Amino acid sequence: MDKRLIDTIEKIKTLSSQNAEFDAAMRELFGKTDSASSVFSESSDGRINEIYEYCIEKVIKEQSEQFYKYFPIKEIVPQLVEDFCRMERYKRENNFEDYCLAVFQQVENITNWFCQRPKFISLFNERKDDEVVINNQGDTTSIGKIVIQSDYDVRKNMPLMKLYFNERIRAILYWVYYNGKYYKGVFEPTYNELNELYQCRNLNHRGGESTPYQESIIERILPHRYLYYLKFNGLLVNFVEHISTFMAKKEEIGVITSVLPSGVVFIKPEDGNVFCLDKGKLWYKIKTLKKNDEVLIERNSITNEILDIKRVVE
């Protein structure tokens, strides 16, 4: 056990024996009928472990709440926090199957929230036949075929929530995670990692027989499960950050009111006060702007930081 924790327990033990009010509070907290000082006695290893677990759970709850503190989909945050706590608990217990399920449920919850939104459903239905370039050779395919992986002509008119989960997640990757762009060399590796998580979730939550492809993924991962605890944690962090960034963006139209010889540009938004941009990270964007140019300003709606600025071309 960590020396700092042992020292803390010893201090609590001493204080319990010296202060009746503190002793009573400790007994109430841990549901003990004997004295709080005996809870921390050297012979009470089980009780010490109980206190240790209580402290760890409290820290994990705080971490989970901070992790999702600014997540924009507020109505699902309580469930996300609960699943995050379960995820960390299972990781500490070295319970890989339940850990994967808890990580997956957070990704699934966010994915299904989008796929149940009327605007997102309409976006998919209206744009799925749009052709997009998929590689440097100029080859194209439809957005629908990027999302739906099999029997496209048969299944293309299925409701979004009726598609397989790994197809719904591809819709989220295309429109939310990568903001309506498809670069195969970036998109597919991200999808493959999420699909690995999906298959590992099925260790705990399998609805039918696995295919040889699914079994091959599991057989490759299980010998390296300790690495995948870290990998899937990172996958969740990236997923939540991308979703948060996408939803934090807001756009407004503005007009360039003045350009100084030093390169400072003054901009008047449609609904707001004039502000200036100087030679910062957006310099390459603003150096060609001229007075009276109309621009599209993209901000982070939480921090109000300017993320991008583009000249509007009629």
Pick the CATH number of 249-311 from 2.40.50.140, 3.40.50.2300, 3.30.420.40, 3.40.50.1100: 2.40.50.140
- Report angle CA 50, 54, 58 to the nearest 5 degrees: 170
| Residue 156, pLDDT score | 92
CB 255 within 8 A of CB 267: yes
Q: What is the spatial distance between Cα 59 and Cα 281, in angstroms, rounded to a whole number?
A: 37
Q: What is the spatial distance between Cα 263 and Cα 284, in angstroms, rounded to a whole number?
A: 11
| Residue 306, pLDDT score | 79
Instruction: Convert 203-240 to b/e letters by CB count within 10 Å (16 or more is b).
Output: bbeeeeeeeeeeeebeeebeeebeebbebbeebbeebb
- Report angle CA 45, 21, 34 to the nearest 5 degrees: 35
| Residue 48, pLDDT score | 62
| Residue 282, pLDDT score | 78
| Residue 137, pLDDT score | 86
| Residue 278, pLDDT score | 79
Q: What is the mean pLDDT of each run of 10 residues along the chain (314 residues)?
A: 63 72 71 53 58 78 93 94 96 94 97 93 93 88 94 93 96 92 92 95 70 86 94 96 85 87 86 80 77 84 72 72
Q: Structural domain boundaries of the chain?
A: 1-67, 107-247, 249-311
Q: What is the spatial distance between Cα 228 and Cα 223, in angstroms, rounded to a whole number?
A: 10
| Residue 213, pLDDT score | 82
CB 141 within 8 A of CB 132: yes
Q: What is the spatial distance between Cα 144 and Cα 46, in angstroms, rounded to a whole number?
A: 57
| Residue 44, pLDDT score | 53
| Residue 89, pLDDT score | 93
In sequence order, the 6+-apart residues with CB closer than 8 A to the CB of 292 are 255, 256
| Residue 2, pLDDT score | 56
